[in-house]
Amino acid sequence: MLFVHSPHGFAGYARFEDSMDLAPTISTQGLSRRFGELVAVDGVNLRVAPGQFFGFLGPNGAGKSTTIKMLTGLLAPSAGRIEILGIDLNAHPVEVKRQIGVVPEGMALFGRLTGAEFLSFAGRMYGLDRTTAAKRAAELLDFMQLADQPKKLVTDYSHGMQKKLALAAAVIHGPKVLFLDEPFEGVDAIAAGTLKSMLQGMIARGATIFLTSHVLEIVERLCSHVAIIHQGRLVAQGSLEELRAGVEAQTPAGSGNGAQASGEKLTLEQLFLRIVGGERRTEQELSWLG
Amino acid sequence: MISTVHRRSQLTAIAELRWRMFVNGLRSKRGKMELVSRVIVTAAFSFGGFGGFAAAAGTAWYVVSQGKAEYLALILWPIFFFWQVFPVMATAFTNNPDSGELLRFPLSYRSYFLIRLAYGYFDPASALGSVALFGVLLGTSVARPALFPWALLVLLTFALFNLVLMQTVFAWLERWLAQRRTREILGVLFILSMLSFQLIGPAIEHLGKGPHPEFSRAAQITAQIQAILPPGIAATAIAQTSHGKLALGSLSLVVLALLTAAIGLLLHLRLRAQFRGENLSEAAARPKIAHVQDVQVGWELPAFSPSVAAVFEKEVRYLARSGPMLLTLIMPVFMLVIFRMGPMNPMRQSGAFNRTPDMAFPGAAAYAILVLTNLVFNSFGGDAVGMQFFYASPVTFRQIVLAKNLTHAVILLFNTALAWIAVSYLYGTPHLAVSIATLAGLLFAVPLNFAAGNLLSLYSPRKRDFSTFGRQNVSQTTVLASFGVQIVIVALGIAGFVIARLYHNLWIATLLFLIFAVISIPIYVVVLNRIDGIALQRRETLLAELCRA
């Protein structure tokens, strides 16, 4: 059971599935990060079980990217402990990095290499031998539909192509855990379809995926579990059903909320807004627009 | 249409933006270091500027008061060369943001052109050149006060000419270096010009033997040719007026102005293309049918790990695709040619180098180290967001930095070999003792340079675009520190050779350099072994600096 709380009065419990009985693939204890006076991430305790497709959600500036950066070794925590696959990230960063794949916010690409050169480079950096790296690079380029312009430099790729290439580089060594920061941002439907198909294939083969995204529909469709961070604190964590049950349990009967009143399931967007208390400003504040 | 008021408002906004960028750059901790560095660099440049000003003023006063104002060309030519060559030779000191980024705003072409010129004016070469021209103006005006307004007009036109030419050269070089075909043509032209220069030396040498009448004729022809080139024209414009021939002086000024306009037109052609959103991408057209491509197997380096080989390959590919960087790397040979024509020329009766042609090879090797400054002292600058990859990958920074240093060492060896060949061709084969002493000198200088470069790459990184020429955001701390390290290296090198010459035994220099190397190599190893800790400690600064948009 995990305590779920909200700055807007919601409080409840979300129950972990049986998979949490296994040793978690990703776990954090009291993970915090300060930037001067600002506490960007405040005592986050995350547990992601093996094989989960885990969505990490939160409003802008909530601490999602800061958390994923700490989980992947791109940022040092101010306090707390991170374990990936049971290995302490702080004590054994290289050992952890060998087993994970990362697509960070900036995509971590080398612009003045071709796609093939970059993938071959990435493979060797992750310990593959030269021949295997080249073979996998060719397969990935083909799968990602990036093989038709072999001389094109990465810097000349479209945004969607860069996302696909970044994902290809993150999986070339067959990682057990994949961290993706906004993988679908700025990606068209065709590219998104390719990415989703690859990610679902990885889950089917037993990998664990941790992603952040603002596109709640995609998270709802892909992820089995989610966590919501708000103002640096984890306010919900569990399967979608568990979150739904928790929110519904906290809502007084007959309060007249659309979906609930009509007996329909709350969507992830509704859950998210209920938990973080999203409020929309009226248009009159920008009356000069249009 | 953009109204005048709107245009003025935009220009004001851009000026404020530049000012805010400057002020905000001083706010962080790095900013404080930068502030100190900038103060020191500014002081050094001020000193140089004052020297140039004093020399220009004194010479101008002398020649004008002697009634030989046409000799002003003797000052205007060096100013011209400095203004045009310094930004190419010392790109580390060029600190101009990319004005192309302003194109997203509704900026008129006229404003864009003006901004590009204004940004160019903040280049140190422009500033120092202007100061020297002011010296010329002062010297001329003191000698002949009546010449002041005319000299002011001529020198302003000459300054504008230099400014426009510098921007035009940069803009076109960038264009030609951006694509393989034009890059290759430029390379061939460069080699041809190098070979052509070779003909000048022997010709002058031949003419210089004895009182050849051809020599004075050649000197006359040279004087006539220089008189129809911009520095000569500017000098003529002032000289003719000082001799009371205002019409001829005016004609020269008009010619200078027309030349400026012609160069400005070339700049306009380039900037207009940029303004219209020119794309110099070399990507091939999309084929109709996609095909599975064979990916070439990566490189292998004997005695090094696969990850070192991978980074080495990546570095070499990056450099091979950077036209501006390639041009910088062949500068040592270019400098040898310049010296051959200049102070090292055996024809000259004065100057330190003509007595020591043996020092050409050590000098070129030292310059080969100098041109690597941008790479060695900001080795992660070109990686930009790729830095995230390094931090996310299971490879230690020790290996990454080692691979980068290996790349730099290979370039240095290549440049040194090239310099040796060039020296042999231009001055005769360097003496064995000199060659060995130079290699021993590299053995001590390179580890020291790399150790300092590795530290500064982590402590004072700046994002760098390998595809653009100049227009880089450089760290003044790095500039200053690299300058300091190189002064120490050059000073030790000179000291070694001076001591060896005192004892008439150049092998002493080799011995001294090997002793220095015994100290510098462990320094390099210690720094390399601590790189991982430093990289981890500095990761936020590095990622923030290199991954910014």
Percent of chain B that is helix, strand, coil (3-state, to 5)? 80, 0, 20
Mutate to test the interface with A, among B293, B316, B397 (most CBs of A within 10 A): B293
* Tokens read off for B327: 């041009």
Phi first, then psi: give them for residue A180, nearest 5 degrees.
Answer: -130, 120
Boundaries of domain holding A67: 2-286
The residue ranking higher by pLDDT, A106 or B92, is A106
**DSSP-derived pairing of the beta strands A79-84 and A87-88:** antiparallel
Q: According to the model, what pLDDT value does residue B31 have?
A: 57
Contacts of A95 in chain B (CB under 8 A): 394
CA distance B271 to B267: 6
Q: Flag if A137 and B295 touch (Cβ within 8 Å).
A: yes
Summarize the confidence of residues B45-52 as an average pLDDT: 85
Cβ count within 10 A of residue B189:
11
Q: Residue A12: is its pLDDT beyond 50? A: no
| Nearest CA-CA partner of B469 in B12, B120, B130 | B120
Q: According to the model, what pLDDT value does residue A31 have?
A: 95
Q: Flag if A125 and B391 touch (Cβ within 8 Å).
A: no
Q: According to the model, what pLDDT value does residue A232 have?
A: 92
Write the CA distances from B247 to A250, B239, B242, integer angstroms. Answer: 95, 12, 11
Q: Flag if B314 and A72 touch (Cβ within 8 Å).
A: no
- Reported as a single tens digit per residue, the pLDDT across B485-527 is 888 999 999 999 999 989 988 899 999 999 999 999 999 999 9
Alpha-carbon gap: B430 to the closest alpha carbon of chain A (Å): 39
- Reported as a single tens digit per residue, the pLDDT across B172-192 is 887 777 776 776 677 667 666
**Amino acid identity, position B158:** F
CA distance B428 to A74: 54
Residue B234 near residue B158, CB atoms below 8 Å? yes
Q: Which residues 6+ apart lie within 8 Å of B465 measured at CB?
A: B98, B382, B472
Percent of chain B with pLDDT over 70: 77
Q: According to the model, what pLDDT value does residue A149 have?
A: 78
Of B294, B314, B394, the CB nearest to A97: B394
Residue B472 near residue B91, CB atoms below 8 Å? yes
Q: According to the model, what pLDDT value does residue B277 have?
A: 72
Mutate to test the interface with B, among A89, A102, A103, A124 (most CBs of B within 10 A): A124
Contacts of A74 in chain B (CB under 8 A): 388, 391-392, 539, 543
Summarize the confidence of residues A146-165 as an average pLDDT: 87
Q: Flag if B314 and A121 touch (Cβ within 8 Å).
A: yes
Helix/strand/coil for A204:
helix
Contacts of B297 in chain A (CB under 8 A): 120, 130-131, 133-134
Q: Flag if B393 and A76 touch (Cβ within 8 Å).
A: no
Contacts of A141 in chain B (CB under 8 A): 292-293, 295
Summarize the confidence of residues A94-107 as an average pLDDT: 90
Task: Give the bridge partners for A230, in sequence order.
Answer: A233
| Nearest CA-CA partner of A12 in A252, A269, A265 | A252
Write the CA distances from B216 to B210, B212, B223, B345, integer angstroms. Answer: 11, 7, 10, 18
Alpha-carbon gap: A204 to the closest alpha carbon of chain B (Å): 25
Residue B336 near residue B426, CB atoms below 8 Å? yes
Nearest residue of chain A to residue B317 (CA atoms): A113
Q: Flag if B298 and A98 touch (Cβ within 8 Å).
A: no
Contacts 24+ apart (CB under 8 A), B46-52: B48/B128, B49/B127, B49/B128, B49/B131, B49/B132, B50/B131, B52/B79, B52/B128, B52/B131, B52/B132, B52/B135
| 3-class SS string, B40-73 | HHHHHHHHHHHHHHHHHHHHHHHHHHCCCHHHHH
Summarize the confidence of residues A110-125 as an average pLDDT: 91
Nearest residue of chain B to residue A158 (CA atoms): B283
Q: What is the CA radius of gyration of chain A?
A: 20
Contacts of B547 in chain A (CB under 8 A): 106
Write the DSSP symbol of residue B351: S
Q: Flag if A151 and B309 touch (Cβ within 8 Å).
A: no
How many domains, in total, are found in chain A?
Answer: 1
- Reported as a single tens digit per residue, the pLDDT across A164-195 is 999 999 999 999 999 999 888 877 888 888 88
Cβ count within 10 A of residue B421:
12
CA distance B448 to B117: 39
Residue B173 near residue B267, CB atoms below 8 Å? no
Q: Residue B286: is its pLDDT beyond 60? A: no
Average pLDDT over chain A reads 83
Q: According to the model, what pLDDT value does residue B88 have?
A: 67
Of B317, B536, B543, the CB nearest to A113: B317
Contacts of B383 in chain A (CB under 8 A): 110
Mutate to test the interface with B, among A148, A158, A161 (most CBs of B within 10 A): A148
- Reported as a single tens digit per residue, the pLDDT across B445-474 is 999 999 999 999 998 888 877 666 555 566
CA distance B238 to B137: 10
Q: According to the model, what pLDDT value does residue B276 have?
A: 79
Q: Flag if B290 and A120 touch (Cβ within 8 Å).
A: no
**DSSP-derived pairing of the beta strands A47-48 and A26-35:** antiparallel
Alpha-carbon gap: B379 to the closest alpha carbon of chain A (Å): 14
H or E segment and range at residue B3: none
Write the DSSP symbol of residue A64: H
Write the CA distances from A96 to A66, A260, B16, B445, integer angstroms. Answer: 18, 43, 47, 38
Q: Residue B534: is its pLDDT beyond 90? A: yes
CATH number at residue A199: 3.40.50.300
Q: Which residues 6+ apart lie within 8 Å of B122 measured at CB?
A: B95, B96
- Reported as a single tens digit per residue, the pLDDT across A269-278 is 888 888 887 6
* Tokens read off for B314: 């990546």
Q: What interhelical angle do B432-459 and B397-427 show, nearest 10?
A: 150
Q: According to the model, what pLDDT value does residue A118 have?
A: 92
- Reported as a single tens digit per residue, the pLDDT across B295-317 is 788 888 888 999 999 999 999 99
Cβ count within 10 A of residue B85:
17
Find where tokens 């068209």 sit: A188
What value of ipTM does the predicted structure carry?
A: 0.80
* Tokens read off for A176: 């057990």
Which of A207-221, B209-223, B267-281, B301-315 has the least mean pLDDT? Answer: B209-223
Q: Dihedral of the CA atoms B216, B221, B227, B230 (nearest 10)?
A: -120
Phi first, then psi: give them for residue B243, nearest 5 degrees.
Answer: -90, 10
Q: Flag if A125 and B394 touch (Cβ within 8 Å).
A: yes
**Amino acid identity, position B524:** Y
Residue A127 near residue B406, CB atoms below 8 Å? no
What are the b/e assignments for A197-219, b being 16+ CB within 10 Å? Answer: ebbeebbeeebbbbbbbebbebb
Contacts of A107 in chain B (CB under 8 A): 385, 388
Cβ count within 10 A of residue B272:
13
Q: Which residues 6+ apart lie within 8 Å of B39 measured at CB?
A: none
Alpha-carbon gap: B469 to the closest alpha carbon of chain A (Å): 16
The residue ranking higher by pLDDT, B325 or B351, is B325
Contacts of A91 in chain B (CB under 8 A): none
Q: Flag if B389 and A94 touch (Cβ within 8 Å).
A: no
Of A75, A95, A120, the CB nearest to B295: A120
Contacts of B540 in chain A (CB under 8 A): 75-76
**Amino acid identity, position B334:** F
CA B225 to chain centroid, in Å, comes to 27
CA distance B237 to B75: 14
Average pLDDT over chain B reads 81
**pTM for the whole structure:** 0.72
Q: Flag if B287 and A148 touch (Cβ within 8 Å).
A: yes
Mutate to test the interface with A, among B305, B393, B546 (most CBs of A within 10 A): B393
Q: Flag if A153 and B393 touch (Cβ within 8 Å).
A: no
Cβ count within 10 A of residue B302:
5
DSSP secondary structure string for all residues of B254-269: HHHHHHHHHHHHHHHH
Q: Residue A48: is its pLDDT beyond 80? A: yes
Q: Flag if B296 and A107 touch (Cβ within 8 Å).
A: no
Q: Flag if A137 and B287 touch (Cβ within 8 Å).
A: no
Residue B374 near residue B456, CB atoms below 8 Å? no
Contacts of A151 in chain B (CB under 8 A): 282-284
Alpha-carbon gap: B308 to the closest alpha carbon of chain A (Å): 8
Number of H helices, E strands in chain A: 10, 13
Summarize the confidence of residues B61-65 as an average pLDDT: 92
DSSP secondary structure string for all residues of B92-105: GG-----GGGGGGS
CA distance B290 to A163: 19
> Vertex A235, ends A233 and A236: CA angle to 5°?
140
